[in-house]
Structure 1
Amino acid sequence: MAVAAAAGAVGVPAAADTQTAGAGGSQQSDIVTLDLYNLTDIHGHIEPVFDKYTSEAGLSHMACYLGKARKANPDSQFTLLGDNIGASPFTSGTQNDNPTVEALNKMGVFASTIGNHEFDKGLDVLKARIDGSDPTHYAKINFPYLGANISGMGTYLKNYRMWQSPSGVKVAFIGAIEDDVATKLFPGTVDSLTFAKPVPVINDLARELKTVGGYVTGADGSTGTEKVKADVVIAMFDNDVERSYPQMGKYVDGLMGGDTHKPYYFTKVRGAEGNILSAVASGSFTDNLANLQLKYDRKAGKVVDSAAVRIPAAEVKKCGDDPQVKAVTDAAAAKSESIKNTVITSKAGKFYRASQEDANHVKGENRGAESTLGGLIGDVMKNSFRTLDNRPIDIGVVVAGDIRSDLATDSGKITVGDVFKVMPWSNEINYVTMTGAQFQKLLEQQWKELDAKSSRPMLKLNFSSNVKYTYDPARERGQRITSVLIDGKLIDPQAKYTVAGSSFLLSGGDSFTAFGDPEVKASKRTVPNRLDREWFGQYLEKNQNVQPRKAKSSVGVSVKEEPLKDGMVKAKVSLRGLSFSGVGEPRVEKVTVKFGANSVTASVNNTLYDPNAAQYSAIVTADGIGHTDTPADVSARVRCSGRAGQTVHIPLTVENEAGTELVGAVQGLGVDVTCPAADGSVAGGGAPGAGASVSADKTPVKVNRLVRTGAGVSAILILSAGLLGMGLSLRKRKIG
């Protein structure tokens, strides 16, 4: 796998290897260079943003660059990968995303894959955008949307669109989206649609387009009347590129992707049938322009070379502005300016979303990790309002995907527009009543099934500061939560807690089906008068000097036991999720694990790069920022004199280098050792096995451990009795 470099020329695209003359183009070479530019996940980010935190070119600079690229190489095309609108910043979002549509209409978009956010306002609004039936409210989209694996939209979506380049190469673009769309929308939004498995649809249609043919779209937008075979097929698959390219069959020549907001640039990697292709995802918010560059040999009738090229926003900016697109964005900005610049506070700290990096240290969003900004919004959800019958909210929650921008300025000044960037959804706020056991189930659902309802191994829930929990990533999915504290006390599985958050999440969005439990669903109520971002703004007004929390609220702790020897209980402790990832945010460099009266200090790896980011084995994207590379060896002596038949608890706690407690004794983690009865037998019957260890007083002892299945790594974290009623069982057996 190779990662392509950014475009070499400064501000001007490199010239093509071919020369054209007239329509259809006679050429001096059999090799045609196709520059297939693409953007994904624009989300209404139409304006340029360049500061120490963000680099976004905006659409005016993008349009300028694309214009020069087409002049340098007429065999160039421009497509989009979906989520062009929805969850947008203030300028576009407050105007129904019409400025984004109007700007894209002037950029020569050949086609766009449909994204899940195009459905945000429902099918009727999407259809009105496509057919122009409600121009008063929604600007008409002048380019086609593609969704080959979607049934139920009639002619509003197309399966593919074929372009004949000036050099005569016929390139078919197939659009498809992952079949988890319904989980990302309000329940019921797309109930009338059917989403087929996308990969077979793409591969089958690619084969058909190359062997049977399809219809070319003319320069005037008309569709040809006779089928022609495609020379090149590009899959425009709105899904994680790293997971998708190995599934592309031999008829697919290149892959464009999106959805994850992570930039991907894979040059000449292997597909499902040993075929070689390149694959790109630009990133998000106009942070990069992607070029899937192919070299097609007309004599051989095939693609002979390809490259994935990243063109950073700073490079795009050097081109300048496109006058027509800039007129659109300037008018939109002027319309929203007076409201957007209203200052809410001038004293706030810096709050960030979680982030990750690729192998080239290019940063991207990380929805699988806890963040300071998520924690702040959790506090907003808990402390801004009360229930309709005037009871306090017990727990505030926000899912990482609901947070669309950082909230960090050098001056501490936060405006209405800044708040809108963070929470652009216009969601209502709901609250529900859950038992402690149901809340634990909700926590377990953060780990997702990659081959069904999510392309991310984790979608992190961020909570109000009164919630702390530990988890064991080595356990089977559904059994990972090992302790939960609410207001400093172990959660009661039978007690009821009021949980508040966005209407999207509390309706079961992002596959958090615990909110769909009949009892929980029946308890759901709406907080009146304000939307999510309005409650956020009010909270900042009332808490002018709000600062980020100093330590993580969720920490991963895995323990692997070792045989008892000479009365010593020994274990290897692995930790993850110790640090935040934002610029200047708390990073744990050294961690101290205390086990009984003994302690050991270990170094912490704070890398943001994870080569397995889209896999079950992920660390960084599964709340593992700040992890120990090697387990810490801990031990404690067990004395059973005078404790016949009793259980001795060896507590395990964790502190950072500043002495801040990350895992406390109250959470009940540690090892339980059962001392033998007076007759020498161990609890549960029978004498100790031949391999049983003996403590200093020569009395056999036995370690109790939690039941586990699967991987064979024996966890010995023991929960206090308050959590054992939540489906976690304890098995006693001999050592040896």
Structure 2
Amino acid sequence: MTVLPRVRARLSFLALALAAAGCATAPQGPVTLNLVAINDFHGNLEPSKYTYTSAVTGKTETLRAGGIEALSGALAAWRREDRDLLFVGAGDLIGASPALSSMWADEPSIEAMNLLGLRLSSVGNHEFDAGRKELLRQQAGGCDSPRPAKACKLNPGYGGARFTYLAANVLDSATGKPFMPAYRVENVKGVKVGVVGAVLEGTASVAVASAIAGLTFIDEADAINKMLPQMRADGAKVFVALIHEGGRTDEAPDQPACKGLSGGVVDIVKRLDPAIRLVITGHSHQGYMCTVDGRVVTQADAAGHLLSRIALKVDPASGAVAGIDVKNVVMNPEHFPADPKVDAYLAGVKERSRAVLARPLGKLGAPVVARQAGDAGESPLGNLIADAVLAATRAQGAQIGFMNNGGIRKDLETSDAALTTNFGHAQAVLPFGNTLVVLDLTGAQLRRLLEQQWQRPSASGATILQVSQGLTYTWDAGRPVGQRLVPGSLKLHGAPVDDGKRYRVVANNFLAEGGDHFPEFAKGTHRVDTGIVDLDALGDYIARNPGIGGAAAGMAPARRIDRLDTQK
């Protein structure tokens, strides 16, 4: 009879021990959850130029910021402060990337994010650049790719992303369900955090139509709100939204609680469930830390120039958020020494890439051919590319070349005192690998096309198409939208464009399918995809025209596009 009391004693001791252990690990009082956010990395493995004005100092500074070495140093330092730090993204981690990443199907950027410990990211519109199948491959790994010349060439055992892409508002048109996970619930310091991701509903207007076939993009706020009951059922008490849609403000990237945010994301934020107190955004490539309807809305510029450090003070029992502190930190490589593993990985990628990137294309007429447009919307680099795509397709009857500003990602630089430019520089300008499509438009369609430069969604703003030599016109900012072309000004080689005549034009396949809010292109007839890649056309044009890109090839002495500002 003496055994039973001993058993009871042991059970009582075990129960007390378990209770004590539980008390030791359960959160007591407010808990600080630390997040770090990145957006629009666009494969910038190395630092790039960043100019910003600080709200703290009032000074404008220009430096080379970002790159995975600086990012790794910052994250390592912050993880020493909090090993439970959650690193998340808001889309466009890949796509529109420099050659160091894009020549290997952006696999180096995915692997870099793995090394940096990224946990979750919303998809961005550029994640769809190479199509649905390729995005799923980049997530899951493997070599079955629509880009066989690039995929698995750096690493034949490409294993995919160890982070999870989220896409609550991207539905498989056949099933009506998200084609990728909509959310994930993360356990951070014993608190379950629901993280939900979405991309801009208007992705169809900024993606190649064929790349998103079979997918439907629905309202961001509706899709996110729909996920909250499911996240709650999975135990989530704190909610964070990753949205690849953004806004703009004149306030500095380090201005706390900015109030002047405008743009597409603002309406989305206002319609989100009140339980979502933190919204991490992207797409507009601007740094901000704003307050919208009592919520914190952040963005970390682009290309890894900034990281957003976010501290949420929460009640672990209720999930109530007592406060959110945000800091946008400039990724100055001098301040954040690289993690040795990341340093070694980047060195390996650069060594494998060196010969291809350094291949000379030809000599330019200036150290830099700029993509910055003048008052009329015309840029020296835009002119050069429009001329190049026209030259590449004259054999197919092309008479007019067009280029969209959004497709020109960098200035065209030179690599030596002789003004030689190389493949790496050119690829940074045109990283998408778009093909050139020739098609017929009537003179009347050309006018409608050019008027569409101002007939755009309010969030996107006007965009002026770059045109090849020989096409000239004047537009008047004081005239009503839809009537801005000055009558009689649209000419081809000095002859007025005839509304009833057909003209053979060339544009990249993104524009040719009506992308960037130019639906008139999609109405063109006698369409032929030449298979010529825009980057190849640019390289060939540079090689055949030494000294191109100087003053004679830019906006002076004769402009292609002129602007008036009369008031009616």
TM range (shorter): 0.7 to 0.9
2:272 equivalent to 1:258: no
Instruction: Assess if the C-alpha contact under 8 Å between 2:442 and 2:503 holds in 1.
Output: yes
Instruction: Assess if the C-alpha contact under 8 Å between 1:81 and 1:257 holds in 2.
Output: yes
CA positional deviation for 1:246: 4.5
Residues 290-324 of structure 1 deviation map (CA, whole Å, 9 limit, x = unaligned): 2234333558853233344221132x542111222
Residues 129-174 of structure 1 deviation map (CA, whole Å, 9 limit, x = unaligned): 22334377354111111011122186851111122222x3332211
The residue correspondences of 1:138-153 to structure 2 (distance < 5 A) are: 139-152=159-172
Residues 551-605 of structure 1 deviation map (CA, whole Å, 9 limit, x = unaligned): 5643443433xxxxxxxxxxxxxxxxxxxxxxxxxxxxxxxxxxxxxxxxxxxxx
The residue correspondences of 1:120-139 to structure 2 (distance < 5 A) are: 120-134=129-143, 137=152, 139=159
Instruction: Assess if the C-alpha contact under 8 Å between 1:203 and 1:252 holds in 2.
Output: no
Distance 1:125 1:236, change over 3 A: same
CA positional deviation for 1:176: 0.5
Residue of structure 2 equivalent to 1:396 = 401
Distance 1:24 1:344, change over 3 A: farther
State the SS of the aligned residue for 1:189: helix
CA positional deviation for 1:480: 2.5
Identify the match of residue 447 of structure 2 among 407, 424, 440. Answer: 440
Distance 1:481 1:295, change over 3 A: farther
1:345 maps to a residue whose letter is: G
State the SS of the aligned residue for 1:253: strand
Residue of structure 2 equivalent to 1:191 = 213
Residue of structure 1 equivalent to 2:245 = 239
State the SS of the aligned residue for 1:141: coil
State the SS of the aligned residue for 2:516: helix
TM-score for the superposition, normalised by structure 2: 0.80
2:75 maps to a residue whose letter is: L
Distance 1:24 1:120 in 2: 49
Identify the match of residue 160 of structure 1 among 183, 204, 207. Answer: 183
Residue of structure 2 equivalent to 1:290 = 308
Distance 1:556 1:213, change over 3 A: same
CA positional deviation for 1:476: 4.2
Instruction: Assess if the C-alpha contact under 8 Å between 1:448 and 1:456 holds in 2.
Output: no
Identify the match of residue 63 of structure 1 among 72, 75, 83. Answer: 72
The residue correspondences of 1:20-169 to structure 2 (distance < 5 A) are: 30-49=29-48, 55-134=64-143, 137=152, 139-152=159-172, 157-166=180-189, 168-169=190-191
Distance 1:68 1:114 in 2: 27
The residue correspondences of 1:259-338 to structure 2 (distance < 5 A) are: 259-260=283-284, 262-267=285-290, 269-271=291-293, 276-297=294-315, 301-314=319-332, 317-338=334-355
Distance 1:23 1:70, change over 3 A: farther
Identify the match of residue 482 of structure 2 among 469, 478, 483. Answer: 478
CA positional deviation for 1:69: 0.8
Instruction: Assess if the C-alpha contact under 8 Å between 2:42 and 2:96 holds in 1.
Output: yes
State the SS of the aligned residue for 2:34: strand
Task: Number of aligned residue pairs: give it.
Answer: 496
Instruction: Assess if the C-alpha contact under 8 Å between 2:166 and 2:183 holds in 1.
Output: yes
State the SS of the aligned residue for 1:430: strand
1:318 maps to a residue whose letter is: H
Residues 167-204 of structure 1 deviation map (CA, whole Å, 9 limit, x = unaligned): x3332211011122222233233231222111222234
Identify the match of residue 465 of structure 1 among 469, 476, 479. Answer: 469
Distance 1:479 1:307, change over 3 A: farther
Distance 1:122 1:299, change over 3 A: closer
Distance 1:476 1:303, change over 3 A: farther
Instruction: Assess if the C-alpha contact under 8 Å between 1:280 and 1:292 holds in 2.
Output: no
Instruction: Assess if the C-alpha contact under 8 Å between 2:413 and 2:425 holds in 1.
Output: no
State the SS of the aligned residue for 1:378: helix
CA positional deviation for 1:438: 0.6
Determine which structure has the larger helix proportion and give its number.
Answer: 2
Residues 8-63 of structure 1 deviation map (CA, whole Å, 9 limit, x = unaligned): xxxxxxxxxxxxx99985678x4433332111111211123469986242112212
Which has more radius of gyration? 1
Distance 1:354 1:540 in 2: 20
Residue of structure 2 equivalent to 1:542 = 544
Residues 317-349 of structure 1 deviation map (CA, whole Å, 9 limit, x = unaligned): 421112222232222111111111122234431
CA positional deviation for 1:385: 4.0
Instruction: Assess if the C-alpha contact under 8 Å between 1:254 and 1:292 holds in 2.
Output: no
CA positional deviation for 1:415: 1.0
Residue of structure 1 equivalent to 2:410 = 405
Distance 1:193 1:312 in 2: 36
The residue correspondences of 1:511-660 to structure 2 (distance < 5 A) are: 511-517=517-523, 520-521=524-525, 523-527=526-530, 530-546=532-548, 547-548=550-551, 549-550=554-555, 553-560=560-567
Instruction: Assess if the C-alpha contact under 8 Å between 1:263 and 1:280 holds in 2.
Output: no
Distance 1:71 1:245, change over 3 A: farther
State the SS of the aligned residue for 1:67: helix
2:384 maps to a residue whose letter is: L
Instruction: Assess if the C-alpha contact under 8 Å between 1:406 and 1:422 holds in 2.
Output: yes
1:282 maps to a residue whose letter is: A
Instruction: Assess if the C-alpha contact under 8 Å between 2:48 and 2:303 holds in 1.
Output: no
Identify the match of residue 506 of structure 1 among 512, 527, 548. Answer: 512
Residues 245-286 of structure 1 deviation map (CA, whole Å, 9 limit, x = unaligned): 3432322211111122x213133x232xxxx12212212222
Distance 1:22 1:80 in 2: 33
Distance 1:555 1:32 in 2: 59
Distance 1:510 1:157 in 2: 25
Distance 1:204 1:375 in 2: 46
Distance 1:270 1:516 in 2: 38
Unaligned runs of 5+ in 1: 1-20, 215-226, 357-365, 561-714, 716-736
CA positional deviation for 1:75: 4.8
CA positional deviation for 1:233: 1.6
2:379 equivalent to 1:381: no
State the SS of the aligned residue for 2:385: helix
Distance 1:463 1:555 in 2: 12
Instruction: Assess if the C-alpha contact under 8 Å between 2:169 and 2:178 holds in 1.
Output: no
Identify the match of residue 488 of structure 1 among 487, 491, 494. Answer: 494
Distance 1:539 1:253, change over 3 A: same
CA positional deviation for 1:205: 3.1
TM-score for the superposition, normalised by structure 1: 0.62
Instruction: Assess if the C-alpha contact under 8 Å between 2:287 and 2:306 holds in 1.
Output: no
Distance 1:255 1:51 in 2: 24
2:396 equivalent to 1:372: no
